[in-house]
Chain A
Amino acid sequence: MVRFEDVALSYGDGPNVLQDVSYQFAPGSFHFLTGPSGAGKSSLLRMMYLALTPTAGRVTIFDRDTAQLKRQERAVMRRRIGVVFQDFHLLDHLTAVENVSLPLAINGESDRATRQDVAELLAWVGLKEHLDALPPTLSGGQQQRVAIARAVITRPALLLADEPTGNVDDRIAVRLMYLFEELNKLGTTVIIATHNDSLVARFRHPVLRLNGGHLAVQKQENVAAARLTASAVVESQAT
């Protein structure tokens, strides 16, 4: 599904933010991505949603080398990837419903046809009362749920969520995690970057840990079901 091979990444002329990252995310897998702030979690996700190309090495998604994609192909591939951005990236002048229906509109579906589905999903994440609210009038946690709804509305093949539960209380966080698990059961490959250790502990999925630019699989005593095991080869070298 997603394969990293000896990937390094730096911003501009800066130092490498990521180094020697090699890992393969199996189709239908569910991973947590953790690490201290500034470790490069968002950067790793950015390569997966094609906002960045690696400085060295290769990132392969849906069996395509992301560096080789043409502009049009990249747009098509992005439609199969749902992203919850760390800072949401909602459009402030559009209502919650309009924000969530954005990926559908880009797919060419009319707003009128999709409104029902969108409203249901928003109700599911607890925003039944805020369908036509503009993001600036919503709390951080509410905005985050709009962002999540927008990421999952198309049932993407790959879901990348950057700190998706950072602004909500534990009860809602757990509910959102169930949403991701539902999606995962339907076949979506899920990767969630998070600081929330209790959440990581509660949902027993493989955990990848970024530190000093290197990626390592964190052992959990009780690794979840076999279908979730990643075919992981991780090389972690000391700098």
Chain B
Amino acid sequence: MSLIIQIENLSKSYWRDSMEIPVLHNLNLEVERGGFLSLMGPSGSGKTTLLNLIAGIDRPSSGKVIVNDSDISKMGESALAKWRAINIGFVFQFYNLIPVLTAYENVELPLILTKLSRKERKKHVETALSIVGLEDRMHHSPRQLSGGQEQRVAIARAIVADPLILVADEPTGDLDKNSADEILTLMKRLNSEFDKTIIIVTHDPHAARIAKIVHQLDKGELIIK
């Protein structure tokens, strides 16, 4: 199996005023195409930071992040934005739907950047919404949905442009157990049925268990299990 993510000697520090806050040190990681990786670890250990670096919404201080054969740490800002639109789907803990848009419109957002026609966009949005089982809630606004439903809309938005990789930062962190299970089942299906490479950050051991591989992060160092 080929590698979709290769991380070499990755370090990341944040700067607050003139204080350096080191977060990741010389981290190495490989993820196979079609893999399902779960990142666990105590709060502040750098899980979100690592995920953001893989997804290309943050920049490493040093080291390489090679995703699907391109070194994204070398890309310019707008090239990286285009790259993200094609390659990455995001799921956040707090859904981050645009409150003034309906479920349908939220899912359609990433497609606005593509050359797809209105009709094609409609087809894609409806497919994505049916995968997450919300085709009947298309015209609801986020406020009219439950947390679990909102997260499913967010997942539909993450997969609508058919990215290679899905990253999820504590996607069940704000949900009750039933809703969380639904989300996890959905993730599993996206991995097995649709071949998405998935990286999920979670505190929930149950959530971690559905992943094929679990990595533990502690004080910026990976402990591979």
Q: Are these two chains actual partners, yes or no?
A: no
A residues bordering B, Cβ < 8 Å?
Answer: none
B residues bordering A, Cβ < 8 Å?
Answer: none
